[in-house]
Structures are given as structure tokens and as C-alpha cells.
Amino acid sequence: MVPFSILDLSPVIEGGTVAQSLANSRRLAQEAEAFGYKRFWLAEHHGMRGIASAATSLVIQHVADGTEKIRVGSGGIMLPNHSPLVIAEQFGTLAALFPDRIDLGLGRAPGTDMRTAQALRRNLDSGAENFPQDVIELMQLMGPPSPQQKVLAVPGANSNVPVWLLGSSHYSAHLAGMLGLPFAFASHFAPDMLLSALEIYRERFTPSHYLDRPHAMVGVMGAAADTDAEANHIFTSMQQSFVRLRRGTPDAFPPPVNDMSTFWNEQERIMVEHTLQYAVVGGPQTIQARIADFLDLTKADELIVSMPIYDMDARLKSVRLFAEAQQSLSLAA
């Protein structure tokens, strides 16, 4: 059975508050735990009015404190924004608070616009260029310290928090394979290099003391409802959000609309449909078929689903329907 997980950005809906968004993330994780999802990851983004997970480590703590068994982690921490020592201390603390439940997914992008990235007080060029060295340094800080080691992460040392590399191109696929780490591809918004990146990762994988064989996770946007029509309706919130992002006018997460043709032009429609080509949207039979096809295409070891849905009750229902689809697929296998 391929494990299912959830990627959440703590969406701030139109008319909502950050406090409500963070409470909703915790509630969503509780529902995911009840229905057998393996992981609940939160993503680092900055300066976006529709996303409340900027202080990712704090939101992970908030979610983990409200759950008991589900793994909670980052999808991901954008390492060029931080020193490896700071992240080692933060995740070492989380691992001490929630033993054997914390994941550390790492990304190379800043997760924001360039001006906001500069305000995060890191040299962006050197940060991106130093990504491989920073990943290695971070893992060393979270591993057993050597007698000659001058800098210690306290907490952090000996925490051995599992590290994943995240990517939307070939770069992290090469690096994850070289370091022998698990790899998660952001196919929920970057579909073009999915299959080639997975091929590179598997071909270049070198066994390590972290992992003895390749382990790949793939992402999809998801919206499940009782019918295809209802699911397509609630998914218009995500479509609007992507259009606004491409227009350079991101805002709070919008409610669904009845007719997207009144919102986007033809070029925007083509762009969004291409970007979200792997989205799993529909009623129970549709999503089951879409998931089966996607897993057959990618041969992935895990699936992570982002469910940005405006109405919280609809979001919780989507979590349940995806879990039921997983069970049906497992019985059919």
C-alpha cells in the first residue's frame, strides 16, 4: 500500500484570520491522523497574504502538539533562508518534544519574492550555491558529534531527524541520489521534469546509512467531493489563486466561483491547466482512477496531497474521500 500524506500551507481564506488558518491546519492534521495518513507537512512561504505557515517550525510544533501519531514535518524548509545551525536547533528541539515523529524536508528556493528574500538577511546567491554543503553541514549537526567538532547544535546533536530533499527540477534529484536521501518532487505545481527527475534520482542513487534504496514521494493538488461537478467547483479556488500568482497579485485564498471563464483569459487557462495537469479532482470513482494512473506512471513510494479548499468542512471531507480511495486501491492491488 502506497502511503498517503498531506501537504498544507495553512491557507488564509478571504474574510478569515491567521489564527483561524493555524487552527484549521491543526484540525486537518487530526483528521488526517484519524484516517491513517502517514505524514502532515507544512511549507515555508513568506510575504504571501494567503499563506500562514511562514514560521514553519512553530506551526509544526502547533500541529504536532494537537496530534499523537502522525509524522509532522516541513515540505519544506527553504534552507538558503537559514543557517544550518538554526535549523538543527529548531528541529532538534521538535524531535525532543515529539520523538520519532518529525521530518525535515529541505528546499533550495527562497519561497518568496526576491525583495522579501533579501529581507530574510541571507546572501541569496551564496545561499543557493552553498545548498549541498549546507545540507551536509545540517545533517552533521543533527548526527553524533565528533571529538574535533567545534560547533554543537544543542538541541540538535544526535537527534538524527530524517532529512528529505525537495525539488521541482533535476538539481535536487541529482543531490538526493548522491547523498542517499529520500526525494520528494513538487509535481503538484511543477509537472514538466517529474519523470526525468525521478529517473535521475533512481539511476544516481547511492546507498547510505540514511537509506539503502531510492525512496520517492510525488505531490498532487487534490479536491474530492461527492460528485465530479462539486469537486471541480471547489477546485476553482485553487485555479483562481494560481492565476493571481501569475498576475503578480497574490491575495487571500478566494471562495469558489461558478464560471472560471469570467475570471481568466485563454492564455491563463492554458497555463493553469498545464501547471495543474496532475491534479486529482473529482468524485470517489474519478479520484481513485486518477490516483491509480498517477502512481502507475511514477512508480512512487509515497503520495502527498495538497488540498487547498476554501470551506473547512469540504476540506475535511476531501481528506476522508482520499483515504477511502487509498483503501479501495489497496484492496484492488
Q: What is the mean pLDDT of residues 181-193?
A: 97
Stretch 306-330: mean pLDDT, rounded?
A: 97
pTM score of the predicted model: 0.95
Q: H/E/C letters for each residue in the chain?
A: CCCEEEEECCECECCCCHHHHHHHHHHHHHHHHHCCCCEEEECCCCCCCCECCCCHHHHHHHHHHCCCCCEEEEEEEEHHHCCHHHHHHHHHHHHHHCCCCEEEEEECCCCCCHHHHHHCCCCHHHHHHCHHHHHHHHHHHHCCCCCCCCCCCCCECECCCCEEEEECCHHHHHHHHHHCCCEEECCCCCCCCHHHHHHHHHHHCCCCCCCCCCCEEEEEEEEECCCHHHHHHHHHHHHHHHHHHHHCCCCCECCCCCCHHHCCCHHHHHHHHHHCCCCEEECHHHHHHHHHHHHHHHCCCEEEEECCCCCHHHHHHHHHHHHHHHHHHHHHC
Asked if residue 166 has pLDDT above 90, the reply is yes
Residue type present at position 153: A
Query: pLDDT tier at 333 (50, 70, 90 boundaries)?
Result: confident
> Quick one: average pLDDT of 180-189?
97
Whether the per-residue pLDDT at 7 is higher than 70: the answer is yes
At 44-87, the pLDDT tens digits run: 999 889 999 999 999 999 999 999 999 999 999 999 889 999 99
Contacts of 24 (CB under 8 A, 6+ apart): 10, 11, 312, 315
The pLDDT of residue 168 is above 60: yes
Mean pLDDT of 308-333: 95
Average pLDDT (8-35) is 97
Looking at the predicted structure, is the pLDDT value of residue 100 above 90? yes
pLDDT for residue 237? 98
Q: How much is the average pLDDT of 240-255?
A: 94
pLDDT at residue 124 greater than cutoff 70: no
Cell numbers standing for residue 131? 545548498
Who contacts 97 (Cβ-Cβ below 8 Å, separation ≥6)? 61, 64, 65
Residue 122 pLDDT exceeds 60: no
Return the pLDDT at 84. Answer: 95
pLDDT class for 119, splitting at 50, 70, 90? confident
Percent pLDDT > 90 in the chain is 88
Cα distance between residue 135 and residue 130, in whole Å: 9
* Residue 111, φ and ψ in degrees, nearest 5: 75, 30
Lowest pLDDT segment from 111-115, 165-169, 245-249:
111-115
Q: What is the pLDDT of residue 115?
A: 75
